[in-house]
A = this chain, B = another copy of it.
Amino acid sequence: MRLLPRLDLTALDDLPLDPSTKGLPFDAPYLRIGDVAAQGWNVLRGDLPLPLAVIRQDIVAANSAWMGAFTAANDLLIAPHGKTTMSPFLFDLQLADGAWAMTVATVQQLGVCVRFGVKRVLLANQPVGAQAIDACFRALHSSDGFELYCLADGQDGIAMLAEGARLNPPPAGNPLRVLVEIGFIGGRTGARSIEAAMELARIVAATEGLALGGFECFEGLLPSPEAADGLIDDVAMLSRLALDEGLLPDDGPIVLSAGGSSFFDRVGERFGRVNFERPVLRVLRSGCYLTHDSLGYAAAFHRILDETTLHLPPGGLEAALEVWAHVQSRPENGRTMLTLGKRDISYDAGMPVPLRWYRPDGTMTAPAPMPAGHEVVALNDQHCHLVTPADSPLKPGDMVAFGIGHPCTTFDKWSLLMLVDPDYRVTGAIKTFF
């Protein structure tokens, strides 16, 4: 399988940066994204206002490399979910580490991929609405060799795709590739039975302009790894049935795909049992591995390290994304308020985790680990309520680094995140497209 080309980061660096963007200094000059690295900013020196979202560039690079090595060692491919970061700079890092495609959730996200040169996209949704479906077929014409996969889970949806193909036929040899989705009762999208999914596969295979690319599921909402196994096995079973029925084009590989960021070991293990007489692409779609987190995904990864039978490369995933805030007030014993709120950090998968603190008065050479007993108990729009022990060192003006749960919902609160080195010198900036 050929690797995809790298992206056009020059186009990204040339984008203007609005001087009012959250994270920039007050009264910042007009800069381009690519100018940020040369500003010489240092977070610990107080060059930037807080709250500030930062990504440790060394850690994010190591996470990307780890996933590249993990998938390569286990005959897996990864189409990282781009919705998490919506950052072409990070997409490029993932492509450099061998990503087979970028996954997206919407045509706006597809548009960002097309614009910056991603040559294969997996739209992990049934596109709906004339605008979105037209966008898919226009994307197929966007450049030579651009490939697009999307999902279908019902006859209404496939009829909309068929109409889109009729209105704007794809180029010869480059159909819209459709993965039929298998779901489960009480779940999200996806056909609710093997029979229903096979019927959809037959319709796709018979529709001009569409090609059956394979099957997929999203197991991430299931309550346990064991519960995920059955759904993942359904994907393999459907592929076998469709192959036997001759529904899959002779000239292409068969795509089996699944994968959030919690159970990707199970996807690898179950797909690893598949042995067809035709090339099979076992495609993970995890997105949160890239920055990882300090809560749910950290726990999920520990389970994977403990349990999996897959090959594990050295090292592992670590949390790369932090949001820094100032201590604003210590209005009563046991309670500290910080300049951080729901506008700045995830709160849908656990409260932020205070990791480190720093007093910017020259007395500390580096941030110190946060002593035990500090716990975020509430977030308001712009305030963080931190319960603090009696001997807490914190005082107004101190800086605190918070780890996060669920990277997606921190990324989408920032149109600009700073890349930093281990000493919190700013090495670049990430523009997000939300």
Set B48, B153, B330, B331: member contacting A331, Cβ < 8 A: B153
Task: Give chain B residues whose Cβ lies under 8 Å from the Cβ of A135.
Answer: 26-27, 49
Q: What's the nearest-Cβ distance from chain B to residue A150, in Å?
A: 12
Interface residues of A in 387-420 (CB under 8 A from B): 395-397, 399, 408-409, 412-415
Interface residue? A383 (CB, 8 A): yes
Asked whether A125 lies within 8 Å of B382 as measured between CB atoms, the reply is: yes
- Rounded to whole angstroms, the CA-CA distance of A131 and B45 in the bound complex is 10
Asked whether A128 lies within 8 Å of B326 as measured between CB atoms, the reply is: yes
- Rounded to whole angstroms, the CA-CA distance of A331 and B188 in the bound complex is 8
Interface residue? A428 (CB, 8 A): no
> Which secondary structure dominates where chain A touches chain B?
loop
A55-63, A109-117, A267-275, A306-314: which lies at the interface? A109-117
Task: Give chain B residues whose Cβ lies under 8 Å from the Cβ of A395.
Answer: 156
Asked whether B332 lies within 8 Å of A192 as measured between CB atoms, the reply is: yes
Q: What's the nearest-Cβ distance from chain B to residue A81, in Å?
A: 9
With A108-B20, A154-B331 in contact, is A129–B397 under 8 Å at CB? yes
Asked whether B26 lies within 8 Å of A131 as measured between CB atoms, the reply is: yes
Set B16, B26, B134, B413: member contacting A26, Cβ < 8 A: B134
Asked whether A18 lies within 8 Å of B50 as measured between CB atoms, the reply is: no
User: How many chain copies does the complex carry?
Assistant: 2
A92-100, A246-254, A296-304, A341-349: which lies at the interface? A341-349
Asked whether B397 lies within 8 Å of A343 as measured between CB atoms, the reply is: no
Q: How large is the interface on A (under 10, 10 to 19, 20 to 34, 35 or more residues)?
A: 35 or more
Q: What's the nearest-Cβ distance from chain B to residue A13, in Å?
A: 14
Set B189, B328, B329: member contacting A328, Cβ < 8 A: B189
- Rounded to whole angstroms, the CA-CA distance of A409 and B382 in the bound complex is 11
Task: Give chain B residues whose Cβ lies under 8 Å from the Cβ of A68.
Answer: none
Task: Give chain B residues whose Cβ lies under 8 Å from the Cβ of A46.
Answer: 129-131
- Rounded to whole angstroms, the CA-CA distance of A341 and B134 in the bound complex is 22
- Rounded to whole angstroms, the CA-CA distance of A244 and B262 in the bound complex is 63
Interface residues of A in 220-271 (CB under 8 A from B): 221
- Rounded to whole angstroms, the CA-CA distance of A51 and B108 in the bound complex is 10
Task: Give chain B residues whose Cβ lies under 8 Å from the Cβ of A156.
Answer: 330, 395-397
Q: Using CB atoms, name the residue of chain B closest to A139.
A: B26
Interface residue? A64 (CB, 8 A): no
Asked whether B413 lies within 8 Å of A130 as measured between CB atoms, the reply is: no
Interface residue? A327 (CB, 8 A): yes
Task: Give chain B residues whose Cβ lies under 8 Å from the Cβ of A129.
Answer: 46, 49-50, 326, 360, 397, 399
A-B contact pairs, 9 of them (CB 8 A): A20-B433, A21-B433, A27-B138, A49-B135, A183-B331, A189-B328, A191-B331, A342-B408, A347-B348
